[in-house]
Amino acid sequence: MVNVVKASERRIERNKERILRAALELFRVHGIRKAAINDIAQKAGVSPATVYNHFGSKEDLVRSAVKHFLTSAVADLRKIIEGGLPFLEKLEQIILYKSDILGQYQGEFMQTLISEDPEIRHIVDAVYLVEIRQSIIDFYEEGKRQGYVNPELSTETIMRYSLIVRSGMAAESSLSEDPEHNRKWLQELTPLFLYGRLGKPGK
């Protein structure tokens, strides 16, 4: 009996995983509003009823997909941050990774990630900020030791500044649905974030 229950639980988890992957793929290609439950179910190889049984509504599916997406992103970023590369190479990989994400996903999905919706905000704070916070702190401390980050700036100040930037992004009414525009936008934003409007020190 126990084995039967465990087999059923594994089947449910596999179905959820397929549904989430299918949802993210369709959100990536078509955006959230245009991705219908029927299309997600068909891509996942399950019935629409199964989607509703596991997630309740499209809104709850979107929230679960956001959590799934962020959990995967946290794992990828942690591998970069905790790897053995020098600080600047890690920074380059992080920028390329974020550029790739912006290039793949519709502006609507990225706007959802930085929205002020309380439930989405809670997911972002709980999954992304809490789980990777210490890795980010360690990353900035490493940058200080290697001479790339101003040692006079406290890590708390840097983290608060990052929060201010993120809040400013959330205030945007929308992100462009043009992936190339989003990629260029991030590439321009990164040096602005790092060096301010005056450019790199020493120039």
Query: Residue 28 is part of a domain; what is its CATH number?
Result: 1.10.10.60
Whose CA is closest to 190, among 83, 99, 76, 70?
A: 99
Q: Give the list of residues 6+ apart from residue 154 with CB closer than 8 angstroms, or none.
A: none
pLDDT of residue 188: 75
167 and 113 co-located in one domain: yes
106 and 202 co-located in one domain: yes
pLDDT of residue 104: 75
125 and 50 co-located in one domain: no
Burial of 117 (0-12, 13-18, 19+ CB in 10 A): middle
12 and 99 co-located in one domain: no
Does residue 166 register a pLDDT over 70?
no
Q: Which phi-psi region, left, alpha or beta, contains residue 49 (left: φ > 0; alpha: ψ -120 to 50)? A: alpha
Whose CA is closest to 55, among 95, 23, 33?
A: 23
Does residue 172 register a pLDDT over 60?
no
Q: Give the list of residues 6+ apart from residue 201 with CB closer than 8 angstroms, or none.
A: 195
For 133-148, write each residue's pLDDT tens digit: 888 888 989 888 888 8
User: What mean pLDDT do residues 174-199 have?
Assistant: 65
Query: What gap in Å lies between CA 170 and CA 136, rounded to an integer?
Result: 20
Residue 153 belongs to domain with CATH number: 1.10.357
Among 38-42, 86-90, 103-107, the range scoring the smallest mean pLDDT is 103-107
Which residue would you say has higher pLDDT here, 7 or 139?
139
12 and 86 co-located in one domain: no
In this prediction, residue 52 has a pLDDT band, given cuts at 50, 70 and 90, of very high
26 and 67 co-located in one domain: no
User: What mean pLDDT do residues 195-200 have?
Assistant: 60
Indicate the DSSP class of residue 127: I
Number of domains in the chain: 2
Does residue 129 register a pLDDT over 50?
yes
45 and 63 co-located in one domain: no
In this prediction, residue 203 has a pLDDT band, given cuts at 50, 70 and 90, of very low
- Cα 199 to Cα 52, 67, 69, 91, 188: the distances in Å are 51, 36, 33, 17, 12
Q: Which domain holds residue 112?
A: 58-203
**How many CA atoms lie within 13 Å of 22's alpha carbon, on the beta-carbon side?**
22
23 and 88 co-located in one domain: no
Does residue 17 register a pLDDT over 90?
yes
pLDDT of residue 43: 96
pLDDT of residue 108: 74
199 and 111 co-located in one domain: yes
Domain-ending residue, one of 56, 83, 99: 56
- Signed CA dihedral, 160, 161, 162, 163: sign only: positive
User: What mean pLDDT do residues 126-132 have?
Assistant: 79
Does residue 190 register a pLDDT over 80?
no
Does residue 137 contact residue 159 with C-beta atoms inside 8 Å?
yes
